[in-house]
Chains A and B, each alone.
Chain A
Amino acid sequence: MKILDKEILTIGSKPQIIKMVLLAPDIAKKALPGQFIVIMTHEEGERVPLTVVNKDINAGTIQIIVQEAGFTTKLLSKLNIGDSLYAIVGPLGHATEIKKYGKVILIGGGVGIAEIYPVTKALKQANNEITTIIGARTKNALILEEELKSVTDNFFVATDDGSYGIKGFTTNILKDLLTKDKYDLAYAVGPIPMMRIACSVTKPFNVKTIVSLNSLMVDVTGMCGCCRVTVDGKSRFTCIDGPDFDGHLVDWDMLEKRNNVYTKQEKHLCNLHKL
Chain B
Amino acid sequence: MKKDAIQAKELNSSIRRKYFDEVVLGYNEEEALIEASRCLQCKNPLCINGCPVGIDIKKFIYYISQKKYDEAYYTIREKNNFASICGRVCPAEYQCRKACILTKKGLPFASPQSINIHFLERFIGDHGIKENLEPPLKKDEFLSQFKVAIVGSGPAGLCCAGELARYGINVVIYEALHKLGGVLRYGIPPFRIPRNILDIEINYLKKLGVKFVPNFIIGRTKTIEELFNEGFSAIFLGLGAGVPSFLGIQGENLCNVYSANEFLTRVNLMSSYKFPEYHTPVNVGEHMIVIGGGNTAMDAARVALRLQEMNGIKPNTTIVYRRTEVEMPARRLEIEHAKEEGIKFKLLAQPNEFIGDEQGFVRKLFCYECELGEPDASGRRRPIPMKDKKIEFNCDVAIIAIGLGANQVLTSVTPDLKTDKWGDIVVSSDSMETSIKGVFAGGDIVGGEGTVIEAMGMAKKASKSIINFLKNSK
A residues contacting B by CB (< 8 A) are 26-27, 30, 40, 42-47, 71-72, 86-92, 218-219, 221-226, 228-230, 235, 237, 240, 251, 253-254, 257-258, 260-262, 265-266, 268-269, 272
The residue of chain B having its C-beta at the shortest distance from the C-beta of A273 within the complex is B276
Asked whether any CB of chain A lies closer than 8 Å to the CB of B253, the reply is yes
A27 & B221 in contact (Cβ 8 Å cutoff): yes
A86 vs B280: C-alpha distance when bound (angstroms): 15
- Which residues in window 254-268 of B have CB below 8 A to A? 255-256, 258-259, 261-262, 265-266
Nearest chain B CB to A43's CB is how many angstroms away?
A: 8
- Decide yes or no whether B278 CB sits under 8 A from chain A: yes
Q: Which residue of B lies closest to A258 (CB)?
A: B255
Q: Are B220 and A92 in contact (CB under 8 A)?
A: yes
Cross-chain contact of A228 among B253, B266, B276, B407 (Cβ < 8 A): B253
Q: Are B360 and A258 in contact (CB under 8 A)?
A: yes
Residues of A within 8 A of B256 (CB): 261
Nearest residue in B to A257 (C-beta to C-beta)?
Answer: B360
CB–CB A89/B261 < 8 A: no
Provide the residues of chain B in CB contact with A266, threshold 8 Å. 281
Given contacts A47-B280, A87-B178, are A240 and B275 in contact (CB under 8 A)? no
Contact B244 A26 (CB under 8 A): no
B473: Cβ under 8 A from any A Cβ? no
Interface of B: prevailing SS? loop
- Name the residue on B nearest A222 (C-beta): B243
B residues 280-304 touching A (CB-CB < 8 Å)? 280-281, 283
CA distance A269 to B278 in the complex (A): 10
Contact B252 A218 (CB under 8 A): no
Contact residue among B215, B221, B222, B359 (Cβ-Cβ distance under 8 Å from A257): B359
Partner of A86, one of B178, B243, B275, B283: B178
The chain B residue sitting closest to A226, CB to CB, is: B262
Q: Is the CB of B262 within 8 A of A26?
A: no
Q: How far is the CA of A148 from the CA of B84 in the complex (A)?
A: 58
User: Is the CB–CB distance between B243 and A89 below 8 Å?
Assistant: no
Q: Which of A45, A219, A237, A262 contacts B177 (CB 8 A)?
A: A219
> Please, what's the 1-or-0 string for B155-191, where 1 marks a CB less than 8 Å from any CB in chain A?
0000000000000000000001110000000100000
In the bound complex, residues from chain B placing their C-beta under 8 Å from that of A89 are 176, 178, 215-217, 221
Chain A contacts for B186, CB-based, 8 A: 219, 223
Closest residue to A35 on the B side, CB-wise? B220
Taking CB atoms, residues of chain B closer than 8 Å to A40 are: 178
CB-based contact A46/B270 at 8 Å: yes
| Contacting residues, chain A, for B243 (C-beta < 8 A) | 222-223, 225, 237
Q: Which of A72, A222, A265 makes the CB contact (< 8 A) with B275?
A: A265
Interface size on B, residues (CB 8 A): 42
Closest to B221 in A: A26
B242:A222 contact, CB within 8 angstroms: yes
Decide if A45 touches B407 in the complex (CB within 8 Å).
Answer: no
**Distance of A260 Cα from B243 Cα, bound (Å):** 24
28 residue pairs A–B, Cβ–Cβ below 8 Å = A26-B216, A30-B222, A43-B178, A44-B271, A47-B270, A87-B215, A90-B220, A91-B221, A218-B266, A218-B270, A218-B280, A219-B177, A219-B261, A221-B176, A221-B242, A223-B261, A223-B407, A225-B259, A225-B262, A251-B253, A254-B253, A257-B359, A257-B361, A258-B253, A258-B360, A261-B283, A265-B275, A269-B279
B277/A44 in contact, CB under 8 A: yes
Quick check: B255 and A235 within 8 Å, CB to CB?
Answer: no
Given the complex, which residues of B lie within 8 Å of A224, measured CB to CB? 244, 259, 261-262, 265
For residue A43, which residues in chain B have a CB less than 8 angstroms away from its CB? Answer: 178
A253 to chain B, nearest CB (A): 8
| Contacting residues, chain B, for A45 (C-beta < 8 A) | 279-280
Would A235 and B246 count as touching, CB distance under 8 A? yes
Flag whether B40 is at the interface (Cβ < 8 A).
Answer: no
Q: Is B409 an interface residue (CB 8 A)?
A: yes
A91, A225, A272: the one contacting B276 at CB < 8 Å is A272
The interface residues of chain A lying within 8 Å CB-to-CB of B261 are 219, 223-225
How far is it, in angstroms, between the C-alpha of A265 and the C-alpha of B282 when the chains are bound?
9
- For the complex with contacts A47-B280, A235-B246, A258-B255, 17 further pairs of A-B residues with Cβ separation under 8 Å are A46-B270, A89-B178, A89-B217, A218-B265, A218-B280, A221-B242, A223-B244, A223-B265, A223-B407, A225-B258, A226-B258, A230-B253, A240-B408, A254-B360, A261-B255, A261-B283, A265-B276
Task: Report how far A141 CA is from B373 CA in the complex, Å.
Answer: 64
Q: Kindly list the 8 A-B residue pairs having the minimum CB-CB distance in the complex, ordered from nearest.
A: A257-B360, A224-B262, A265-B281, A89-B215, A87-B178, A225-B259, A44-B278, A262-B281
CB distance from B67 to the nearest CB of A (A): 42
Contact of B214 among A72, A87, A226 (CB under 8 A): A87
Q: Which residues of B contact A87 (CB under 8 A)?
A: 178, 214-215
B-chain residues with CB within 8 Å of residue A223 when the two chains form the complex: 186, 242-244, 261, 265, 407
Q: If the complex has contacts A89-B216, A218-B270, A272-B276, are A235 and B253 also in contact, measured as CB distance less than 8 A?
A: yes
- The smallest beta-carbon distance between A98 and chain B, in angstroms, is 17
Give every chain B residue within 8 A of A42 (Cβ-Cβ): 279
**Distance A235 CA – B252 CA, assembled complex (angstroms):** 9
A269 close to B276 (CB less than 8 A)? yes
The minimal Cβ–Cβ distance linking A193 to chain B, given in whole angstroms, is 16
Q: How far is the CA of A229 from the CA of B261 in the complex (A)?
A: 17
Q: How far is the CB of B280 from chain A (nearest CB, A)?
A: 5
Cα A257 to Cα B258 in complex, Å, equals 14
Determine whether the beta carbon of A46 is less than 8 Å from that of B280: yes
What's the minimum C-beta distance from B276 to chain A, rounded to whole angstroms?
5
Which of B220, B256, B269, B280 gathers most chain A CB within 10 Å? B220
Most B-side CB within 10 Å, residue of A91, A223, A260: A223
